Amino acid sequence: MSADQTPARSPNRPLSVLRSLLDNAAAGGIVLMAAAALALLVANSPLAGTYAKALHREIGGLSLLHWINDGLMALFFLMVGLEIKREMLDGQLATWSRRILPGAAALGGMIGPSLVYLAVNAGEGGQPRGWAIPAATDIAFALGVLALLGNRVPLSLRVFLTALAIIDDLGAVLVIAFFYTGSLDAPALVGAALAVAALAALNRLGVLRLTPYLLLGALLWVLVLKSGIHATLAGVVLALVIPLRARPGRPDDRRSPLHILEHALQPVVTFLIVPLFGFANAGVAFGGLSFAALADPVPLGAALGLFLGKQLGVFLTAAAVIRAGWADLPAHADWRQLYGVALLCGIGFTMSLFIGLLAFPTDAALQDEVKIGVLLGSVLSALAGAALFRFAPAPPRGDR
């Protein structure tokens, strides 16, 4: 029997875990904002040359930037995978009734921005390869904005946004796997498949020690890096085989390998890795930038995709599901507040920048255009969402 097949959950545990995720992600979002602002400040200061030189310094055959984007971000994707697995099997997304509203909204929130981006980039000079750039919501950044709003946002909408962003991350992972994978190295790919088979065997045999999983996971990362598939996806694959259930006779799931690893990773990823990624990738010099450059297809498509496509995709899809009677409006929330969350879903910082790097891996100019569009669309979405909640009625005290 697999280590994941015996349910043993405390009825109050999933919500408490989600509350912890909300608190940590919100605080991490504020740190991420500071890191992005610092990157912009440094990139437009006399330190710009030192900043660029440091990021391109080679260490062990890879630049520091590559170690951050391909190495440390694998831990980010590992935590994303752990969150997806936990919420899908034993948390707020464990049943179809809980999945349908955030799931439908996440799907609409990926399709809408992609269509807007493609529409802007359909003509001559367009770059349709970047269609997925505005498709993902940055959970840390969005929850950071909600944290700054205090008690004006119902808890039910915070949970809805978190669930939507988790499903959104799953969609982004699939997009990266299927659409942003280059030429493949067959021997490395076979080796990676064998490593995955060994990891699955550990799970099926009920192995609950983390050390074998982590050692095989490190080997998997090396093989995936050499195979041509983006190395960060090794983190997601590893997460899917980490056992969710605790040892027989110990029903407290918080002692399971998945929860132990997730809680160990969460502060490191939230307060170090993601802000470091933001600092390394958000820096763009505005010295030679003109307003006309904002109308180029890539920055305009990314900005409009996040600001317009995301809010329309999320809100209209959620409204259709609610009107059809398949789901209810989140508790103590009204339509205006739901629309405010849809606006905040347009904050697409971390995953959008990451996809932009994959879409244009060798074109520094297009990468800078991606950064400008993502920053513009994310800032507009954050300001519009925050303004709407400032003027919306406060939720009842019991739902704050």
Out of 32-46, 73-87, 196-210, 311-325, least confident range: 73-87
The mean pLDDT of the chain is 85
Question: Which amino acid is located at 96 in the chain?
Answer: W
Closest CA to 385 of 299, 322, 314: 314
Q: Exposure string (b/e) for 262-275, b if CB count within 10 Å is 16 or more?
A: beebbeebbbebbb
What secondary structure does DSSP assign to 26-74, as a single string? HHHHHHHHHHHHHHHHHHTSTTHHHHHHHHT-EETTEEHHHIIIIIIHH
Is 244 in contact with 40 (CB distance < 8 Å)?
Answer: no
For residue range 316-355, list pLDDT tens digits in order: 999 999 999 998 888 888 899 999 999 999 998 888 988 9
Contact in structure between 274 and 80 (CB atoms under 8 Å): no
Q: Averaged over 34-55, what is the pLDDT?
A: 92
The arithmetic mean of pLDDT across residues 354-367, rounded, is 90
Lowest mean pLDDT segment, chosen from 11-15, 96-100, 299-303:
11-15
Asked if residue 7 has pLDDT above 60, the reply is no
Task: Please determine, for residue 12, whether its predicted confidence score (pLDDT) is greater than 60.
Answer: no
pLDDT computed for residue 123 by the predictor: 83
- At 79-112, the pLDDT tens digits run 888 888 888 887 777 778 778 999 999 999 999 9
pLDDT tens-digit series, residues 206-241:
888 999 999 999 999 999 888 878 777 888 899 989
Residue 5's pLDDT band, with cuts at 50, 70 and 90, is very low
Residue-level pLDDT at 117: 97
Higher local confidence (pLDDT), 174 or 299? 299
pLDDT of 13 > 60? The answer is no
Find the range with the poorest average confidence among 116-120, 129-133, 287-291: 287-291
Beta bridge partners of 59: 62
Please state which of the ranges 2-11, 64-73, 112-121 shows the lowest mean pLDDT: 2-11
Which is nearest to 51 in space by CA: 41, 60, 61?
41
